[in-house]
Structure 1
């Protein structure tokens, strides 16, 4: 695949959408776990209702129905169609541009390409991420709206900033997770082949993606908690002279959310939802990379 090849973009987008469908209920439980205990609309603290991933999964499906586990699937797939397409296409295109021979790849180059691709693609797809998080968190007023109406609703009440709320931690998280996952995957895959442990087959892709997902979960969960809490709270845009932009008790930004979370809930709160994060990243990466590698061989 050369730097001007379109295939990494298409393969990345298709594989990302398939992986999203397969792991979305786990992502919903992760979002609910991360939000509880944090501050939401008008400074209200979200009640703690779930003891863990399995309890959250059972309680959501029992009280709200199985369909609730897929609230936000439409913007999630739309997000992957943009974020996934740009991220993986840009990553492999940048690598091809900087290194013509795959055997000459270096970890530093791969990390640079991955961080760049992650941050750029995540920032561009941020509005879809905001809507996905809010629908997953249980905001029922959004469930009856079409995608265009839901985006308009956020814009009408919160302005353009509402659609890009949490863009900094989102881009930072994407830079971290992509900067860890993709280089680790490539490194493990090539190592297994070079050392004659495994050929370039599905087993190799499975193990490499599983290892890369663990590294991604460890590195990204704290930023993911901050990002989720920022996106879930609503901040009303000014409506006339003297109107307050937001309540004084909600998070004012990434650093404030990080500090308040550690101060009121302890450092371990930054790893809320770690288990579902890893359990989602593992299957997500496995589905994605196996699909991606098969598409590369087929076309």
Structure 2
């Protein structure tokens, strides 16, 4: 039994980067999956009664956001934050998949012994750990997507990291680490375990064969399940990461994830936690399809 095999780590990193860059999204003509993530973030940020800087409801939905951003800021703006997003996947995706498979082998010695429970536990632990390590890249990605002033350097990604650290300290790079870790634990816990579970069920029932079509189908199912489970945490994460810290270490709007959820529900209603759901799903759906198809191909190539 090879618990710490390098293959899942490398396969996970390659698949994550491929999914982040995207291929062709039929619904959005070929702009890839990243612009969908940008519209999701902006939809989640807008309409905050507690934050005057983002109180305006500028975008009516995903398509309107894409059209408006393209018209006002140019096509290039749709890819704001792509550099830290790719860096995030190079670290997050590698750690997530590698640890997931290592944890599964610890809990279940062989693949035949895996259960839905062991897969969920392994995925939750791997997702939370990977997200905590990669949090600074998520903070910068969100701020570049929103265009937060005075926190994003025009000199490049690493200068932007330095600027955030200079103005807000180490805590600034770990804004929203709580909900970010929680979100990753939920997303990964749902997506990876659901993918393995439904694939296992379909193969054992001999309804499908272990082909790319099966990987496509299971990836689409995993993406939808992940979107439903994670959207509320994703809204809170985006809002916390976008806000700045004062020099005294005090947040400008929200005191933490619980306070953010409380204020959001109180001032905007419960469904505000599902802002950006459509772009989130259209992001996670294609993302997971690309990810699992590439991952399976990499696993086959390394076998």
TM-score range, shorter chain: over 0.9
**Offset, 1:197:** 0.9
Residues in 2 aligned to 1:252 and 1:53: alpha-carbon distance in whole angstroms: 29
1:15 matched residue in structure 2? 15
Aligned to 2:177: 167
Aligned match of 1:267 in 253, 270, 283? 270
Aligned counterpart, 1:241: none
Question: 2: CA distance between counterparts of 1:45 and 1:134?
Answer: 13
Equivalent pair of 1:31/1:133 in contact (CA under 8 Å): yes
What is the match of residue 133 of structure 1? 142
Gaps of 5+ in 1: 239-243
From 177, 193, 214, give the equivalent of 2:224.
214
User: Is this contact kept in 2: 1:188–1:208, CA < 8 A?
Assistant: yes
Instruction: Return structure 1 stretches of 4+ with deviation > 4 angstroms.
Output: none
Corresponding residue for residue 191 of structure 2: 181
The whole-number CA distance in structure 2 between the counterparts of 1:67 and 1:45 is: 22
Query: Who is 2:243 aligned against?
Result: 233
State the SS of the aligned residue for 1:159: helix
Shift, 1:97, TM fit: 2.4
1:143 shift after superposition: 5.2
**Distance of 2:43 and 2:250 partners within structure 1:** 28
Give, in angstroms, the shift of residue 30 of structure 1: 0.3
Work out whether 1:81 is the aligned partner of 2:90: yes
The answer for the alignment partner of 1:192 in structure 2 is: 202
2:290 to 280, 287, 290: 287
Q: Does 1:112 align with 2:121?
A: yes
Q: Contact 1:40–1:232 (CA<8 Å) still a contact in 2? A: no
Other structure's SS at 2:260 match = helix
- In structure 2, list runs of 5 or more residues that go unmatched: 23-32
Rounded Cα–Cα distance in structure 2 between residues aligned with 1:293 and 1:39: 45
Question: Using the alignment, how far apart are the partners of 2:109 and 2:117 within structure 1?
Answer: 15
TM value normalised by structure 1: 0.94
Residue deviations 1:199-255 (CA, integer Å, cap 9, x gap): 1101110111111111100100000000000001111223xxxxx8344xx111101
Q: Structure 1, residues 245-288: CA drift from partner, whole Å, max 9, x if none?
A: 344xx111101100000000000000000011111100000000
Distance 2:295 2:134 in 1: 21
How many pairs are equivalent?
A: 291
Partner of 1:123: 132
TM-score, normalised to structure 2, is: 0.93
- Displacement of 1:140 in angstroms is 5.6
- Superposed displacement of residue 38, structure 1: 2.1
Supply the distance in 2 between the matched residues of 1:155 and 1:223 (Cα, whole angstroms): 25
Q: What is the aligned partner in structure 1 of residue 281 from structure 2?
A: 278
| Conserved? CA contact 2:243–2:251, under 8 Å | no
Structure-2 separation of matches of 1:39 and 1:125: 30
The aligned residue for residue 62 of structure 1 is 71
The farther-off stretch of 192-201 and 138-147 is: 138-147
* DSSP-derived class of the 2:298 partner: helix
Residue 158 of structure 1 aligns with which residue? Answer: 168
- Determine whether 1:146 maps to 2:151: no
Distance (Å, rounded) in 2 between the aligned partners of 1:35 and 1:45: 7
* Residues 246/267 of structure 1: CA separation in 2 closer, same or farther (3 Å cut): closer
